[in-house]
Amino acid sequence: MTVLVTGGAGYIGSHTVVELLNAGYEVVIVDDLSNAKADVIDRIQTITGKSPAFHPINCADKGGLCNVFRSYNINAVIHFAGFKAVGESVKKPLEYYRNNLDSTLTLLEVMEAFDCHKLVFSSSATVYGPNNPHPYREEMPAIQSSSPYGWTKVMIERILTDYCTAHPEFSAILLRYFNPIGAHKSGLLGDDPNGIPNNLMPYIGRVAAGQLEKLTIFGGDYETPDGTCQRDYLHVVDLAIGHLKALEYAQNNSGAEAINLGTGNGISVLELVTAFEKVNNMKLPYEIGPRRDGDLPAFWADATKAKELLGWEATHTVEDMCKSSWEFAKKSKES
Ligand code: WQD
């Protein structure tokens, strides 16, 4: 079976491609490399011994995407491609709406033209917005977000839900990620954003590697046990495996289905920093600074549905996430 992975050279996409290849799937990657490096394809080959087909195009390029569908018998699509920096989306809303919505609408039109009815979509816990109580459950309202990036996820979930209503044979699995961190055990794949990282763990990795001076913890006065924000951090390899489970589910079902991918546990920033220091036997320079606009004090997943529907649950520990992140950060510094 051949799976098209859009954004397959990215952080979560590349880890998912590794798991697909290891499971015996044929994989075709389309990625415009706007937030990924071409050498990730070689690293995937080094890890798996297999070479996925790779086409450096943006999904909004209808002609290019049609050529890809014409060249391979694509049975299903995992759709990661999209801009994803929360802060940047606030400064550049038009680019985010144009890129993330156009690429998805074009993808759906081309899937329809080539009779492809199975889609797994990279959504986000951000769709739960600031008003739902945690742990978040899939039946809660997922109709608002706090950034244009998050709004594109809300809108694309709506587009896919309406598309499934109009096309009963279509299956769209809307995977709502919590906070993916960690790296492949080889140290060859990991979260390696261009420029200064916005997210916590890649920032910690750059501080630990001496590439950044110190971590600023955004806020120490929240209504949480230690005053710092709590999140549901899950290992990126657990997340990748969740996509294979969703793909299997999509093969035997139709309609739109939202599913949380999280551990069901909340961990604070300070707890994560402490775990990172302990497992990697180091002291991490940090200071407590002002809160970051838009941050919620705490949220994590109710992970029941993924277990019941997909037979999936996160298995990696916080120690695994911290150790693998450091292994990757060290190798990235050397390369
Ligand atoms: C986690 C915690 C920060 C950096 C975002 C997106 C979400 C998804 C994951 C794409 C927060 C704190 C961070 C730093 C810090 N992205 N922090 N110092 O904001 O929970 O989620 O990334 O799908 O959609 O919203 O993740 O890693 O940015 O922050 O103290 O230098 O770490 O305040 O409490 P977040 P994050």
120-126 mean pLDDT? 97
Is pLDDT above 90 for 319? yes
Tens of pLDDT, residues 50-71: 999 999 999 999 999 999 999 9
What band does 235 get if pLDDT is binned at 50, 70 and 90?
very high
| Distances, alpha carbon 95 to alpha carbons 47, 129, 211, in Å | 34, 22, 30
Q: Which pLDDT score is estimated for 186?
A: 96
Q: Note whether 59 and 81 are within 8 A (CB).
A: yes
The number of CA neighbours under 13 Å toward the Cβ of 56 is 9
Q: Which pLDDT score is estimated for 334?
A: 79
What band does 181 get if pLDDT is binned at 50, 70 and 90?
very high
Q: Note whether 170 and 164 are within 8 A (CB).
A: yes
Ligand 1 mutation target, pool 11, 35, 86, most atoms within 8 A of CB: 86
Tell me which residue has its CA closest to atom 28 in ligand 1: 199
Compute, in degrees rounded to 10, the torsion defined by CA atoms 264, 11, 96, 294.
Answer: 40
Torsion 87-88-91-93 (CA) sign = negative
Using DSSP bridges, classify how beta strands 118-124 and 74-79 pair: parallel, antiparallel or unpaired.
parallel
> What is the position in ligand 1's atom list of the atom closest to the CA of 203?
31
Tens of pLDDT, residues 82-91: 999 998 999 9
Q: Which residues contact 274 (CB under 8 A, 6 or more apart)?
A: none
What band does 247 get if pLDDT is binned at 50, 70 and 90?
very high
Q: Which pLDDT score is estimated for 281?
A: 98
Tell me which residue has its CA closest to atom 11 in ligand 1: 229
Tell me how far apart the alpha carbons of residues 122 and 181 are, in angstroms, rounded to a whole number: 15
| Distances, alpha carbon 75 to alpha carbons 27, 72, 98, 331, in Å | 10, 9, 27, 36
Give every strand in the sheet of 171-177, ordered side by side.
Answer: 53-55, 26-30, 2-6, 74-79, 118-124, 171-177, 255-261
Show the tokens assigned to 55: 């086409």
Tell me which residue has its CA closest to atom 31 in ligand 1: 200
Q: 22: part of which helix (H) or strand (E)?
A: helix 11-22
Cα–Cα nearest to 160, from 266, 29, 229, 258: 258
Q: Which pLDDT score is estimated for 332?
A: 87
Ligand 1 mutation target, pool 177, 178, 218, 322, most atoms within 8 A of CB: 218
Q: Return the minimum-mean-pLDDT range out of 22-31, 209-218, 286-295, 326-335.
A: 326-335
What band does 194 get if pLDDT is binned at 50, 70 and 90?
confident
Q: 177: part of which helix (H) or strand (E)?
A: strand 171-177
For residue 289, the CA-to-ligand 1 centroid distance in Å is 15
256-263 mean pLDDT? 98
155-165 mean pLDDT? 98
| Distances, alpha carbon 74 to alpha carbons 26, 117, 158, 174, 288, in Å | 9, 10, 24, 20, 49
Show the tokens assigned to 18: 């590794």
144-157 mean pLDDT? 95
What band does 238 get if pLDDT is binned at 50, 70 and 90?
very high
Cα–Cα nearest to 239, from 162, 331, 324: 324
Tell me which residue has its CA closest to atom 33 in ligand 1: 218
Is pLDDT above 80 for 335? no
The answer, as to whether pTM is greater than 0.85, is yes
Start-to-end Cα distance in the chain: 35
Tell me how far apart the alpha carbons of residues 235 and 170 are, in angstroms, rounded to a whole number: 29
What band does 30 get if pLDDT is binned at 50, 70 and 90?
very high
Cα–Cα nearest to 51, from 37, 41, 59: 41
Show the tokens assigned to 309: 């529907």
What band does 133 get if pLDDT is binned at 50, 70 and 90?
very high
Q: Note whether 35 and 13 are within 8 A (CB).
A: no
Q: Which residues contact 122 (CB under 8 A, 6 or more apart)?
A: 7, 12, 78, 79, 80, 82, 175, 177
Q: Which pLDDT score is estimated for 104?
A: 98
The whole-chain average pLDDT of the chain stands at 97
10 Å CB burial of residue 191 (0-12, 13-18, 19+) is buried
Catalytic residue among 11, 25, 128, 149: 149
Is pLDDT above 80 for 188? yes
75-86 mean pLDDT? 96
Active site residue 149: yes
